[in-house]
């Protein structure tokens, strides 16, 4: 289920947008001010879209957008009562992907939101996700349940390879050739050691990595 962050200090409008999106089976995260929006975004790197009001307390929408753009290219749809060309240009030049003036028609909002997410899906996505494990390949960062964790270089390569082949049983020979290289001359048991370390680093999500006796390993969020 895709997550969408809706940030607006008008709770009636937030409820309206939430109803529109949840009817289409999106998970909606709500923020009532700019600071809360930034905190929620940082805790949920898998967010697929941000719908952002301009006039908010704490941080205004432009400040939230600036902070988001420092770390992510997630699509951002700006909502504002300031319906003039200058504000539209300012939003787009600051990194917004689309702009809507209030009031708006619910079906138009939904269409624009889905179009933004569709455009992003059609581009090469640098994120891998299995369950509550997210890898940002562009930045080489790993998140478990929204919190960044540290991995060794080999653990990171191993996790990426497993995630790229989710639900597929990979033999030790396949893993060794892909992660360590075909000319590796060490002990094949190093794979088992790194799997054990990776499971520990993934904490509660370590159970995603399953041992298939006599064959190898597979990664799946399914029990």
For the chain, which residues make up each domain, given as ranges?
A: 3-122, 127-219
Domain 3-122 and domain 127-219 have a common topology = no
- pLDDT-derived band at 165 (thresholds 50, 70, 90) equals confident
pTM of the model: 0.55
What is the DSSP secondary structure assignment for residue 207, as one 8-state letter? G
Mean pLDDT along residues 75-104? 77
Instruction: Quickly list H helices, the chain.
Output: 11-22, 34-43, 61-69, 85-93, 106-122, 153-164, 172-175, 190-201
DSSP, res 71 = T
* CATH number at 3-122: 3.40.50.2300
Tell me the pLDDT band of 125, cut-offs 50, 70 and 90: low
Q: What is residue 84's predicted lDDT score, i.e. its pLDDT?
A: 57
Q: Is the pLDDT of residue 206 over 70?
A: yes
pLDDT recorded at residue 122: 47
Fold of 127-219: Arc Repressor Mutant, subunit A (1.10.10)
Residue 192's pLDDT band, with cuts at 50, 70 and 90, is very high
């Amino acid at each position: 289920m895709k997550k969408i962050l809706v940030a607006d200090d008008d709770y009636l409008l937030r409820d309206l947008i939430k109803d529109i999106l949840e009817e289409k089976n999106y998970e909606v995260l709500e923020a009532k001010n700019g600071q809360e929006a930034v905190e929620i975004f940082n805790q949920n790197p898998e967010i697929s879209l941000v719908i952002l009001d301009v006039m908010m307390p704490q941080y205004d929408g432009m400040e939230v957008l600036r902070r988001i753009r420092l770390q992510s290219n997630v699509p951002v749809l700006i909502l504002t009562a300031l319906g003039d060309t200058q504000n539209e240009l300012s939003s787009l030049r600051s990194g917004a992907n689309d702009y809507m003036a209030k009031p708006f028609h619910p079906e138009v909002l939904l269409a624009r939101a889905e179009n933004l997410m569709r455009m992003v899906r059609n581009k090469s996505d640098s994120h891998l996700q299995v369950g509550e494990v997210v890898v940002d390949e562009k930045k080489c960062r790993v998140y478990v349940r929204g919190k960044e964790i540290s991995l060794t270089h080999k653990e990171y390569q191993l996790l990426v390879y497993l995630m790229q082949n989710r639900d597929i049983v990979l033999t030790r020979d396949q893993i060794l050739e892909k992660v360590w290289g075909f000319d590796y001359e060490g002990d094949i048991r190093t794979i088992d050691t790194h799997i054990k370390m990776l499971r520990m680093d993934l904490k509660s999500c370590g159970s995603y990595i399953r041992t298939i006796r006599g064959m190898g390993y597979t990664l799946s969020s399914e029990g």
